Amino acid sequence: MVKLKTAKRLVAYKAWIRDIVTAPYVQQAGWEPNYIELAGVRVSRVNLLASVVGKFVSEDGNYATITLDDGTETIRSKAFGPDVIKLKDTRIGALVRFIGKIKNYNEETYLAPEIVREVEDPNWIIVRQLELGLPRTEQKKIVKMIPTEVAEEVIEEEGGINRTTLEIIKKLDKGQGADMTQVIKKMDLDESEAKNVLVGLLKAGECFEPLKGKLKVLE
């Protein structure tokens, strides 16, 4: 009996919309998945926490879009045919957890929806802030949705994670930069969360890649 090989589901990485829409889109031949590259990681699927700020459903019900805003940038999710049901009941103003594939057409990067779930507890915004981190100039856009009394805690805890990560990079750097794989192993985080922290530090200019797969702290 011949066993059929099943395709492994790609990881849905947590990322800021700003990073998704500004990263170059790489289109591959054949069945290889298209992707964007964030901090040396090929990303084809994303996990977002964002507000729905726009919505459109065609009269025939065969096409729908929603516009997502996470405080850093906006991006559209497009659904066609049977996938329209995934967006049809989404409310403008709702905070949603969105998982989908990164697509590009006519020079627009957009998302194909897989899972769209409304989030009732705004504290998940705090969790996402801690997971990804943001440059100081961006933080006010995110924490404005968080109660004032916990906003400072968010920034302080996120800063602690970043400082610890930078110390790990410094310790592993023997001159040519710290190996990214080793840095991730030393971080006390889930692998996908660790990669997201590194993406945030790279985008904030706290560290850089002197060579592919190597990290150095910007002194």
Read off the CATH number of the domain in which 66 is found.
Answer: 2.40.50.140
- 144: pLDDT confidence band, cut at 50, 70 and 90? very low
Query: How confident is the model over 23-58, as pLDDT tens digits?
Result: 999 998 888 889 998 878 889 999 999 999 999 999
Which of 68, 93, 118 is the endpoint of a domain?
118
Give this prediction's pTM: 0.61
**168 shares its domain with 149:** yes
**34 shares its domain with 77:** yes
**102 shares its domain with 68:** yes
pLDDT for 65 beyond 80: yes
Query: How confident is the model over 164-200, as pLDDT tens digits?
Result: 888 999 999 988 899 999 999 888 777 877 887 888 7
Number of domains in the chain: 2
- 6: pLDDT confidence band, cut at 50, 70 and 90? very low
Taking each helix axis as running N to C, give the angle between helix 136-143 and helix 148-172, from 0 to 180 degrees, rounded to the nearest 10: 150
Which of 118, 137, 158 is the endpoint of a domain?
118
**109 shares its domain with 128:** no
**113 shares its domain with 134:** no
Q: What is the pLDDT of residue 159?
A: 57
DSSP assignment, residue 202? H
Query: How confident is the model over 85-142, as pLDDT tens digits?
Result: 999 899 999 999 999 999 999 989 999 999 999 988 777 777 777 777 654 445 444 4
* DSSP 3-state percent helix, strand, coil across the chain (nearest 5): 35, 30, 35
Q: What is the pLDDT of residue 63?
A: 95
**132 shares its domain with 100:** no
Percent of the chain beyond pLDDT 90? Answer: 39
